[in-house]
Chain A
Amino acid sequence: MGLRSEDLVRFSWGALHGYPARTLLMLLAMAIGVAAVLILTALGEGARRYVVGEFASLGTNLLIVLPGRSETAGINPSTLMGETPRDLTLDDALALQRSPLVRRIAPINVGSAPVSHDSRSRDILVLGSSHELLAIRHWELAQGRFLPAVDLDRAVPVAVIGSKVRDELFGADPALGEWIRLGERRFRVIGIMASEGRSIGVDVQDTAIVPVASAQQLFNTSSLFRLLVEARDREAIAPARRQILEILRKRHQGERDVTVITQDAVLATFDEILGALTYAVGGIAAISLAVAGILIMNLMLVAVSERTAEIGLLKALGASHGQILGLILVEALLLSLLGALLGLLLGELGCWLIRASFPVLPAYAPFWVVLAVVALTLLTGLLFSLLPARRAARLDPVLALYGR
């Protein structure tokens, strides 16, 4: 003989209905616990994704080569002899380009120069680089083309300008194909940067980008500000770094006088810290679920003693130990399930409110957290109702019926 499962669920459901105040209280406790976990992990995850996103806008698998050695390694021959470190040159860039670990390379030269068109003139930042800069930095063009794919040492008189520069020089007039004057040289505008082209440290909108050789002529220099190198893939970052250092050491007469920064190393650290933070916060929130579990245990104990006579009656009518146990556990499970669903609703609402108030923060709870929190809620409900259920199952029917 066995209780049919639909009867079991219906009976437990009826029992929950029979004590609305108690049921609501337990639901609320569960729901708040679940919502807390969701909202806090969503916050942590949102912060992590925000930071990762900011770094990704710098470029992926990016290595940055700077002239000079940044390690404070104490005294070396160059400091004693008062030498300045050797400059990075276009030839260095060409040498690195031959490495199979390098996918793209963009030399960078930066300077300030007056820009003018017709009668309008102002000072802007001029960036000398190559056509690969666009792909390395994940920038986009609003109009026209980016720098042409020519040899690095060819000074082609073309320029790509930011939208702010365009507005200030041309107003509403078309800018593509027009000539502008940068310093003493004339450049033809071949492209306009899209307004989303934003990157940490550089306001692209207030910039003119020209071929690196042209920039060197403009600033009368043969050196480079830095080299942006995109490694072939994520695994190639570390070997590429070693190789870059080795190639440049050979080219610089055995002197290690450059610094290579990998962006991914910084990013990974942030990723790790924020990930750990999310776990910690989520874990703290999960404690509130345990608290809800204890509340459920107490209220289920109350429920069992409130329903002592009913349980005794069920025993007299032929309910076995196991059936009573099952009834109470199913009741707790139903309750936990409802609580979890209510909590999910509440949590999603909370996350939505956060996203609505802080649009930069992608506050979404990861899907596995949603699954885990539902599982945890069910487990908590089940675990903490085991004791009350066992107490109910062990009730002496005589005592239960006669209340003695």
Chain B
Amino acid sequence: MIELRGIHRHFRVGDQEVHALDGIDLQITAGAYVSIMGPSGSGKSTLLNLLGLLDRPSAGSYRLDGRDVTDLSDLQQAAVRNQKIGFVFQMFHLVPRLSAAENVALPLLLAGVPPRERTPRVVQALTELGLAERMQHKPDQLYGGQRQRVAIARATVTEPELLLADEPTGNLDHHSGQEVIRILESLNARGITLVMVTHDPEMGQRARRRLHMLDGRLEQDHGAA
């Protein structure tokens, strides 16, 4: 599913060169459940952004589903993000002026799906996450766990193959966090590839495959298939 070869990512901060990723080789099979752990600044978020085509590597190649996506144009990358990849963020990133249903509809809207087709898919996605009663609520009328569930509905409404989660429980209380992680795991159980960045060793240990990063390198790789 995912194949990274010799990925480097350099930033220039002032006159210092920062090697956020320093030679990453990684293969992730379809349907895998992978956690990426490591201290702050180890490059785990940068890796996730690269996997999500939000960032481009300085060197190396990235194949997604057998297709080289390293040098796709902006338009093509946008299409891949829209169709194949779902994002779940620590800060939820819901648009505050839009209702839960409108937030979930956003990726379909960007893809040009007509409203008649859009509505049942949005309703289904929200209903599956237990938010049928909350569809017309604005984000500020929902509590944290509900917000993250709206975000997950948004990430999955396009039925992507890859779900990227960046500290999905980082802003939630323990109970809501457990709830969110169970939802993500159930999605994974239905075949979606789940890659999750986390600080929390307890969360990280739940994944079948656990990657540890340090200084832009993969230090440990447990449970690779």
Contacts and interface: CB of A to CB of B under 8 A. Distances in A.
Interface of A: 1-4, 7, 11, 14-15, 17-18, 309-310, 312-323, 396-398, 401-402
Given A314-B106, A317-B107, A321-B74, 10 more contacts: A1-B79, A3-B112, A4-B112, A14-B97, A313-B95, A316-B52, A316-B81, A323-B110, A397-B49, A398-B49
Nearest to A321: B74
B82 interface: yes
Q: Name A's interface SS.
A: helix
Contacts of B106: 314, 317
B181 interface: no
B33 interface: no
B93 interface: yes
Interface residues of B, number: 31
B54 A316 contact: yes
A11 B112 CA distance: 13
B125 to A, nearest CB: 14
B89 interface: yes
A86 to B, nearest CB: 89
Contacts of A396: 55
B93 A3 contact: no
Nearest to B112: A2
B75 A317 contact: no
Contacts of A315: 54, 78, 81
Given A314-B106, A397-B54, A323 B78 contact: yes
Contacts of A15: 97
A321 B78 CA distance: 8
Interface in B33-87: 45, 49, 52, 54-55, 74-75, 78-83, 87
Contacts of B54: 315-316, 397-398, 401
Q: Which 8 A-B pairs have the closest CB atoms?
A: A318-B82, A320-B78, A18-B97, A318-B81, A317-B107, A397-B54, A313-B93, A321-B74
A13 B166 CA distance: 31
Contact of B110 (A318, A321, A397): A318
Contacts of B83: 318
30 contacts: A1-B82, A1-B110, A1-B111, A2-B112, A3-B112, A7-B115, A11-B109, A309-B91, A309-B93, A314-B106, A314-B110, A315-B78, A315-B81, A316-B52, A316-B54, A316-B87, A317-B82, A317-B154, A318-B78, A318-B81, A318-B82, A318-B83, A318-B110, A318-B111, A320-B75, A396-B55, A397-B49, A397-B55, A401-B54, A401-B93
A17 B97 CA distance: 9
B97 to A, nearest CB: 4
Contact of A14 (B79, B81, B98): B98
B136 to A, nearest CB: 14
Nearest to B102: A14
Nearest to B83: A318
Contacts of B81: 315-318
B114 interface: yes
Contacts of A310: 95
Nearest to B90: A402
A7 B111 contact: no
Contacts of B96: 18
A318 B106 CA distance: 9
Among A316, A320, A397, residue most surrounded by chain B Cβ atoms (within 10 Å): A316
A317 B83 CA distance: 9
Contacts of B89: 401
Contacts of A323: 78, 110
Contacts of B45: 402
A318 B93 contact: no
